[in-house]
Structure 1
Amino acid sequence: MRRAKKKKTSSIFPSKLEDLQAILQQKFDHNSDLNYTIYNHQNQRIAVFYITYLIDTNKVENSLLKPLLERKESWSITALLNNIPLSSGKTVDNLDDILKGILLGEVFIYIEQDSTIISYTLKKEEKRSLSKAETESVVLGPQVAFTESLATNMNLTRKGILSNDLVLEKIVIGERSPKEIRLAYLKSIANETDIQTMRQRLNDLEIDEIEDSSVLIQLIEDSSASIFPQFYETELPDRFSYSISKGRVGVLVENSPTGIIAPVTLFSFFESTEDLYMRWNIGSFFRILRFIAMFISVLLTPFYVAAVTYHYEIIPIPLLISLGQSRANVPFPPIFEAFLLELLIELLREAGARLPTKVGQTMGIVGGVVVGTAAVQAGLTSNILIIFITLSALASFTAPSYLMGTTIRVLRFPMIVLAGVLGIIGIMFGICFLIIHLLKLTSLGRPYLSPVYPLNWQDLNKTLFRLPYNMQTKRFSSFRLKDLYRFSKEKAKRKKDIDE
């Protein structure tokens, strides 16, 4: 991930136009898409070069070449910057910066034998229209999702945060395929340590290319060996803007339809934007329901395996009789039976996700019903276990974060193994191991289990449940933000009718 930084090539200016053309053609392996044109103007020789398909040719013709060639006086660097009607002009004198700028969609103008070269960003924007979110479906609130266009995503973020405190800091990552990244934060609220940590991790990356924000997370997260996600990945602009307004740091990546939020806690992955738009008591109910669903998904099937294998005494007599009748014709031990059905559920889910939407939905429903019924009739599994497996699968889908839902489903398998080998003792061993791991885990250097550990009573109402808006006067204090207070508590409680 990290390697020794390359030394920048020394300046090649001043230079003849033919010599500069030869260098560029050699660097781009005589690629025909590199447009290098030499113009004679007022006893001057000027070169304009760029890659054709990366550039908005209408802007090049009308805003750059037309005023460049129609001027009657001679050109200089200062005259170019002051008279060409483009605001993105800058000077460059390093070959590495020129090569990188060409790939980023910049047009370069060079006056022969000058000491610097001018570049203008005239990149052609190829983007799809705004659409609804796919992986984070919501009923209440804004439905629009991020796109692959960084400019569009920044625009959506600006619409969500109408403040001059919002900073969208530009960072370019990638040696062979440079990609623009924006570090987003509110300078008057976000913790300076969090900003510096994220900036340092991004700038320290020495890598050929960044394919997507998901890949970037794997390169900069605190613990790459952990199964738990340490940064939140969202495709909802309103969640991204809301998190930044609460003091977190965000990252937007060019050609990626998702934004990165950090630092986060374990409880952040069970919060939905719908919790904000519902009444506080309803939102709290659904948030608590998701926490309960997490425990059901991870522990229900392992407890079944442990009880049926070792601990018959904890099963009520009526249920034990029904369970015995259900498993009378099953030739396999409970651990194998549970593994078989869990793998079947995962196969159906993965196949449904890869098939076209309508076909995938039909295949998931029909496949689950047909295969489940056939498995019971063939004596491969019991009716009761199918009920438990179905409840566990449904509970895992309640997590708003797809990454956390996947983590919960994967955790079931080692817990089933521990339950089948050691019974309830094995389950307790697995739970203790998970707790110890979560206690050690961090997100951008912040405790992953905050505010439960270290305990912070003031932040519990922002994680485990919700309070009414007029009582949410403070931001998340565990992250030590610059400004903790959102509004005055006394003024929020003061209500006046029109006749008062």
Structure 2
Amino acid sequence: MKREPMKKLETQSQALPELLDRAGQSSDFTTIPLTITGRQVRISYYKTLIDEKLLQSNVILALQNRSLHSELRRLEDISDWIPISDIEITDRVEDIQSKLLKGYAIAQLDQHDRNCILVHVGTMEGLRKENNTENEFSVVGPKVGFVEDLDTNIRLLRAQINIPNLIVKEITLGSSSKTRVAIIHIDGATNEQIVQTAEQRLKQIDIDVIFDTSLLDQFFSDNSSTPFPLFLTTERRDRVVYALLSGQVAIISDGSPYFVTGPSTLFDFFISPEDYYLPWILGSFFRMIRIFGVIFSLFATSMYIAITTFHYEVIPRDLLEPLISSRRNVPFPPLVEVLFLEITIEFLREAGARLPTKIGQTLGIVGGIVIGQATVQAGLTSHILVIIVAFSALASFATPIYKMSNAIRFLRFPMIVMTAIWGAIGMFIAIAFLLVHLTRLTSLGTPYTVPIYPLRVQGFMDSLIRPSFQLINKRMPFLRPRSLIRFIPEPVGRKKNDFDDE
């Protein structure tokens, strides 16, 4: 098999005009032309990385005031006129690119001159002291989240992805709100067709006010008549960075701390960033536990109805007597019994989510214990069903993404009804409808159930399990990335010990 050439994404520009042209593809890159004593001065910078007040007062205004008394003859005069200590004159494109992405402004006296001045006008204002993630918590790894300011969020991304290939395109949506919406991707990694599809769908949105990025998710999704989220919504910076590096596109609106990334697959919603901060064996184990928990949460109560109503012959003899004694005083059929407990759990969830944090936690714990004990003693439900519903509710919380957790909670109810009507046959019919519905879903034109359908063997590498970093150095082929290689891993082998003999 012929080895694919290793194409490195972070290639350095060979000339300064190429670097400026690439940076100019982003909406937050700005070039200001100034005329100083008859000479043309161009100042270029990323507006999301600099302090514009500092630029105006200490650079532009200083140049204009000094030009009233002096004549601009050479590039060094600009550095003498600017009252900032961190100034550097260089012609190295590597240094220019690095400093440009660190909050420096470029000043050129001649557009074709290779030498330019780098002036540090960066700022970190606008960042919260505590902008931790609130809904996507992890024990291991960074806890940096996004805020409600678009420029700040772009600055957070550029601090992590420090290459000019990070392209930001801004559009304005909302007839009344005029909200800024950013479409972000990595040039050289993301397929251009995906970017064009996302941009085209966003421009077709006609609404008066954009309150949150989640609204955009519903408007430009491939199918709005599905309970499954077709795009991953996250407030974690590391998750957005990983999606961009994988060849996906990220979208965010001003006033929202949530990014929408896509194309997404079904397995993306069961992946936690914490999987990659743990050894791959532990990460794979916890990921499979998470997937098993979702399956158990979806089918546990349905199986209880099917067994106790239609298929009681499959109950082991040792379990049959405790089950009979548990249901002896229950006056309701299993369907009513299950719906009563499931709806009660949903009441507790909604009440706990809407109340303040401390009160909500107390309500969830005390309410669950008191109501569960009271319903059993009153003979409204059986002991075994209370245990099954409790485990099912607990397993549903294992889903890292809140929107997918809501979809699983909803799907339990049609599954319960189908099972109550036809037993195990009804469950298999519901599963068949669910599988057909999933296989027909797409996210920005990409199949939702890939790599299972269509079958992509290489896609299993980072789906059910989290393999070693030696094996996940390539982007997923079904995203059709322009560059397949993410990084070049170290060859697998015995690492040399410092105490080994030469």
Which TM-score band applies after superposition, normalised by the shorter structure?
Answer: 0.7 to 0.9
1:423-468 Cα offsets, whole Å, 9 max, x none, are 1111001100000000000011100001111111111011111211
CA distance in 2 between partners of 1:492 and 1:127 (Å): 41
After superposition, residues 84-233 of structure 1 pair within 5 angstroms as 129-233=129-233
**Is the contact between residue 441 and residue 447 of structure 1 (CA under 8 Å) also seen in structure 2?**
yes
Pairing 1:263-342 to 2, within 5 Å after superposition:
263-342=263-342
> What is the Cα deviation at residue 133 of structure 1?
1.2
Distance in 2 of aligned mates of 1:186 and 1:274: 24
Query: Is the contact made by 1:173 and 1:181 (CA closer than 8 Å) also made in structure 2?
Result: yes
Counterpart CA distance in 2 for 1:150 and 1:404 is 26
Q: Tell me the residue number matched to 1:483.
A: 483
Indicate if the aligned counterparts of 1:305 and 1:416 stay in contact, CA closer than 8 A: yes
Cα separation, partners in 2 of 1:453 and 1:300, compared to 1, 3 Å: same
Give the match for residue 438 of structure 1.
Answer: 438
Residues 327/475 of structure 1: CA separation in 2 closer, same or farther (3 Å cut): same
Deviates more, 1:273-282 or 1:466-475: 466-475
| TM-fit CA distance, 1:220 | 0.6
Q: How many residues align?
A: 396
Query: Which residue identity lines up with residue 344 of structure 2 in the other structure?
Result: L
Distance of 2:60 and 2:441 partners within structure 1:
56
Within a 5 Å distance, the mapping from 1:313-462 to structure 2 comes to 313-462=313-462
Q: Which runs of 5+ in 2 are unaligned?
A: 1-50, 69-81, 83-124
1:70: Cα distance to partner? 9.1
Give me the whole-angstrom Cα distance separating, in 1, the residues matched to 2:261 and 2:53.
37
- 1:490/1:353 Cα in 2 relative to 1: closer, same or farther (>3 Å)? closer
Change (3 A) 1:132 1:71: closer
Q: Which runs of 5+ in 1 are unaligned?
A: 1-55, 74-84, 86-124
Aligned-partner SS, 1:182: strand
Distance 1:413 1:61, change over 3 A: same
Aligned AA (1:287) = R
TM-score, normalized by length of structure 1?
A: 0.75
* One-letter amino acid matched to 2:479: F
Q: What is the CA distance between 1:474 and its match in structure 2?
A: 1.5
Alpha-carbon distance, 1:233 to partner: 0.2
Task: Output one character per residue of 1:465-494: Cα deviation in whole Å (capped at 9) or x when no partner.
Answer: 121112223111111111112234574658
Cα distance in 2 between the residues matched to 1:489 and 1:374: 58
User: Secondary structure of 1:144's partner?
Assistant: coil
Q: Which secondary structure does the structure 2 equivalent of 1:469 belong to?
A: coil
- Structure 2 CA distance for partners of 1:265 and 1:72, relative to 1, 3 Å: closer
Distance in 1 (CA, whole Å) between partners of 2:162 and 2:304 is: 52
Cα deviation, residue 270, structure 1: 0.1
Q: Deviations over 1:75-132 (max 9, x none)?
A: xxxxxxxxxx9xxxxxxxxxxxxxxxxxxxxxxxxxxxxxxxxxxxxxxx97754322
Contact 2:269 2:404 in 1 (8 A): yes
In 1, Cα distance between equivalents of 2:210 and 2:494: 51
The corresponding residue for 2:96 is none
Off by >3 Å, runs of 4+ in structure 1: 56-67, 69-73, 125-130, 487-500
Listed one character per residue, the Cα deviations across residues 36-72 of structure 1 (whole Å, up to 9, x for unaligned) are xxxxxxxxxxxxxxxxxxxx998999799999x9999
In the alignment, the residues of structure 2 paired with residue 230 and residue 494 of structure 1 have an alpha-carbon distance, to the nearest angstrom, of: 43
How many Å separate the matches in 2 of 1:60 and 1:162?
22
CA distance, structure 2, for counterparts of residue 70 and residue 487 of structure 1: 49
SS at match of 2:470: helix
**Share of identical aligned residues, percent?**
45
**Offset of residue 253 of structure 1:** 1.2
**For the Cα contact (< 8 Å) 1:128–1:148, is it kept in 2?**
no
| 8 Å contact from structure 1 (residues 168, 184) kept in 2 | yes
**TM-score normalised by the chain length of structure 2:** 0.74
Aligned 8 A contact 1:130 1:146 in 2: no
Alignment of 1:232-247 (within 5 A): 232-247=232-247
Q: What is the distance in 2 between the residues matched to 1:324 and 1:129?
A: 58
Q: Which letter does structure 2 place at the counterpart of 1:400?
A: P
Give, in whole Å, the separation in 1 of the partners of 2:166 and 2:132.
25
Match of 1:164, SS? Answer: coil
Alignment-derived partner of residue 43 in structure 2? none
Q: Is contact 2:246-2:475 (8 Å) kept? A: yes
Deviations 1:393-446 (A, max 9, x none): 011000000111111111111111111111111100110000000000001110
Following superposition, the deviation at residue 219 of structure 1 comes to 0.5
**Aligned amino acid, residue 282 of structure 1:** L
1: CA distance, partners of 2:194 / 2:54: 40
RMSD of equivalent CA atoms: 2.7
Tell me, yes or no, if the aligned pair for 2:269 and 2:399 is still in contact at 8 Å: yes
Mapped to 1, the partners of 2:144 and 2:483 lie a distance apart of 30
Shift of 1:151: 1.4
Q: Distance in 1 between matches of 2:406 and 2:259?
A: 19
Supply the distance in 2 between the matched residues of 1:299 and 1:463 (Cα, whole angstroms): 22
Q: Distance in 2 between matches of 1:156 and 1:371?
A: 46
The residue type paired with residue 486 of structure 2 is R
Measure the CA separation in 1 of the matches of 2:142 and 2:413.
Answer: 37
Give 1:88's aligned residue.
none
The answer to whether the 8 Å contact 1:130/1:147 transfers is no
SS of match in other structure, 1:251: strand
SS of the counterpart of 2:366?
helix
